[in-house]
Amino acid sequence: MKNSSKKFNGFESLKSSDKESLELKSIKLPQNDDLIITEVPDSIIKTLESRIGHMCVKKDESDEVGPTCNMASVPGAVTQRSCVYGGARVVLMPITDAIHLVHGPIGCASCTWDIRGSRSSGEDLYKKGFSTNLQEKDIVFGGEKKLFDTIIELNGIYNPAAIFVYSTCVVGLIGDDLKSVCRETGKITKCRIIHVQSEGFRSFNKSLGHQLACDAMLDQLIGTGKPGLDEKSAVSTKKNIPTLNIVGEFNVAGDLWAIQPLIEKMDITVQSTITGDSCVEQIANAHRADLNIVQCQKSSNYLARQMEQKYSIPHLKVNFFGIEDTAKSLLLIADFFQDQHPEIREIVDKIIETEINKVRSEISHYKTRLTGKRVAVYVGGNKAWSLIRAFEELGMKVIMTGTQNGLPEDYRRIMGTVSEGTLVVDDANSMELAKLIKKYHPDLIVSGAKEKYMAHKLGIPFCDFNHDRISSFASFQGFINFAKEVDRAVSSPVWKLTSKYYQGIVKNE
């Protein structure tokens, strides 16, 4: 069932009555004047002129232009960015029954194996670290032979569903022909050997790595599956049951397991998830779905757009973080299937009614404690905007947000979501972050592990929203976890004890 008559995209395509009924009118944001940032402070950008444009403050409703972005980082900065290889690896790594072989020096594999909190319901092959361990002589004579032998060896030991072969900086420099080695070994092993051209230095923006990972799936995996090869893809061949792919959901801390049941409750079959808790064969059959819903729009919009062109599968931009956005996402999906399956809307209405009431009553305790608190968000990908509403639902105000790898379109979304007087920062380095934290002293910082301990040293509570977190934040139940986690961070008694006052008590001052 391809629905091409309507143009679907994001929440804007929802009926306005639906949108209004979901607005959380009860939320009063703190209006205190000192919470409003009016200018980018001089002290932050004092020494590097080139950084000035990378920060801006939203002045009024019409302010849509974000900071300068998508530029190479200043050399010598303690950048929070990563490399193209890292970008490709995070997208593909959650594929559970595949081997992820890193063709390069040992470090590229050593530092990245099993670092993503993507959970699996079955296989754990993806958690192992595989490397060709390139040595000096390989640099001189080329590493193709070694790669060839390694793939044959690997296939013999593990008999995997696929082997993803990642290129690294070194491989780009010495010019190994990954593609032909993968093709040759594929013929010999009869295994899917998929090359990913992710040389680390190819771009300053790891988003290119996301795209290259998507390209590898699009060109070498999606569309190669035969129907009925495994149980899950057999379902999709049954007539009249709507199917979809959940794209850009990586099952960090089990997020997918909170989203998938909702979809299934709507009598929609999940054809595949790309790539959280997925199997190779499912993704190979992803082209059979009726619809793609895209959760991480940073990494996976590209894949959805390409699938739309190639297989005419429409896509919807969804967001399962936050109560309101989860509800809107479900409505959006129901709308899409309205013509053929009008019954879905009823189910969705029911889900929303029961779940929202349940969540609101469960979070009211936390909301009382958190209302009026100020948050600084510095994260990768779509979280820079999708988290903002989620915090507002807890009565908290985001005073600062930013991302390492934002593109102009990302910042337009961010500017559209934040309220006036919010500071928006692109590619902040650790020093700028620290200075901003010291100046504005937010009640909470939300970021990844690299920033966690710096925040703590400055006496500010911290909440993980990255690969490192341990509870699922997605969908309705996830929002309760999220509220709990935020409260745990903000309300921990330890932050009182760090104050000057308490240190004074020790010295009997």
Partner 1 sequence: MSDVNIVERGRTLVVNPLVTCQPLGAMFATLGIHRGLPLVHGSQGCNTFVRYAFNRHFREPAEIAVTSLHEDAAVFGGRSNLISGIKNLSKRFRPDLIGVVTTCSSEIIGDDVDGFMKMAHKELVEEIGEEKANKTKLVHISTPSFVEHHFRGYGNAVKAFVNTLAEEPTESNDKLNIIAGMVNPGDIREIKHMLGLMGTEAIMLSDTSDPFDSPLRPSTTESMPFYPKGGTRVEEIADSSNSLGTISLPFYGDDAANYLEKKYDVSAKIGPMPIGVQNTDEFVRNVTKLTGLEASEELLDERGLLIDSMADLCSRYLFGRKVAIYGDPALVMGMARFVCEMGMIPSFVCTGVENPEFVEEMKKVGKESEGPVEVMPGSDLRALEVRLEEEPVDLVIGNSEGRLITRDLGIPLVRVGFPVYDRAGYHRVPIVGYNGSVNLIDRITNMVMEKYYDEQHWKLQQ
Site for partner 1 in 155-174 (CB under 8 A): 168-170, 172-174
Q: Which is nearer to partner 1, 203 or 422 (CB)?
A: 203
Separation of alpha carbons 273 and 294, rounded Å: 10
Distances in Å between the Cα of 106 and the Cα atoms of 10, 99, 102, 117, 135 are 42, 16, 8, 22, 9
Site for partner 1 in 62-91 (CB under 8 A): 72-86
Place of tokens 């771009």: 203
Residues 473-502 that bind partner 1 (CB under 8 A): 498-500
Segment interacting with partner 1 (CB under 8 A) among 31-39, 244-252, 253-261, 430-438: 430-438
Q: How far is the CB of 105 from partner 1 (least distance, A)?
A: 4
What is the x/- site pattern for partner 1, positions 127-156, by CB under 8 A?
xxxxxxxxxx-xx------x--xx--xx--
**What x/- string results for residues 309 through 348 when contact with partner 1 is judged by CB under 8 A?**
----------------------------------------
Which lies closer to partner 1 via its Cβ, residue 107 or residue 408?
Answer: 107
Q: Which is nearer to partner 1, 241 or 458 (CB)?
A: 458
CB 362 within 8 A of CB 372: no
Size of site (CB under 8 A) for partner 1? 77
The mark string for 226-265 relative to partner 1 (x by CB under 8 A, - otherwise) is ----------------------------------------
Q: Are 207 and 217 in contact (CB under 8 A)?
A: no
CB of 386 to partner 1, least distance (A): 23
Q: Which two tokens stand for residue 152?
A: 């044959």
Contact with partner 1 (CB under 8 A): which of 39, 124, 339, 353? 124
Calculate ∠ Cα 142-145-146, nearest 5°. 90
Which DSSP string do the residues of 146-173 spell out, in sequence order? HHHHHHHHHHHHH--SEEEEEE-HHHHH
Taking the complex as a whole, the smallest distance from the CB of residue 168 to partner 1 amounts, in Å, to 8
Residues 368 to 387: which contact partner 1 by CB under 8 A?
none
* 403 prior amide bond cis, ω within 30: no
Distances (CA, A) of 331 to 241, 269, 355, 359: 18, 17, 14, 18
Residues 6+ apart with CB under 8 A from 302: 210, 211, 214
Residue (367 or 452) nearer to partner 1, CB: 452
Nearer to partner 1, 366 or 462 (CB): 462
How far, in Å, are 36, 61, 207 from residue 403 at the CA level?
20, 21, 12
User: From the CB of 190, what's the least distance to partner 1, in Å?
Assistant: 19
- Of 29, 48, 241, 407, which one interacts with partner 1 (CB under 8 A)? 48
Site string for partner 1, 266-295 (x = CB under 8 A): ------------------------------
| Cα gap 164→182, rounded to integer Å | 9
- Pick the closer one to partner 1 by CB: 170 or 222: 170
- 102 vs 222 by CB, closer to partner 1: 102
Closest to partner 1 by CB, 355 or 485: 485
Q: Which is nearer to partner 1, 65 or 71 (CB)?
A: 71
> What residues numbered 433-472 form the site for partner 1, per CB under 8 A?
434-435, 438, 449-450, 452-454, 456-459
Q: Which residue has the tokens 């700028």?
A: 432
Q: Give the start-end residues of each E strand in 170-259.
A: 192-196, 243-249
Give the nearer residue to partner 1 in terms of CB position, either 169 or 304. 169
Smallest distance, Å, CB 434 to partner 1?
A: 5
Q: How many residues does the chain have?
A: 509
Sign for the CA dihedral angle at 360, 481, 380, 197 comes to: negative
To partner 1, the closest distance from the beta carbon of 449 in angstroms equals 5
Q: Which of 480, 459, 290 is nearest to 394 (CA)?
A: 480
Give me the least distance between CB of 372 and partner 1, in Å please: 22
Quick one: 204 or 302, whose CB is closer to partner 1? 204
Rg of the chain's alpha carbons, rounded to an integer? 24
Which of the residues 196 through 215 are near partner 1 (CB under 8 A)? 200-204, 206
Q: Structure tokens of 155?
A: 């296939």
Helix, strand or coil for residue 332? helix
Q: Which is nearer to partner 1, 137 or 310 (CB)?
A: 137
Strands of 315-317's sheet in order across: 269-275, 243-249, 291-294, 315-317
Please tell me the distance from the alpha carbon of residue 423 to that of residue 425, in angstroms, as a whole number. 7
| Span between the terminal Cα atoms of the chain, in Å | 75
- Is residue 182 part of the contact set for partner 1 (CB under 8 A)? no
Nearest distance from residue 72's CB to partner 1, in Å?
6
Cα-Cα-Cα-Cα dihedral of 79, 80, 86, 88, to 10°?
Answer: -110
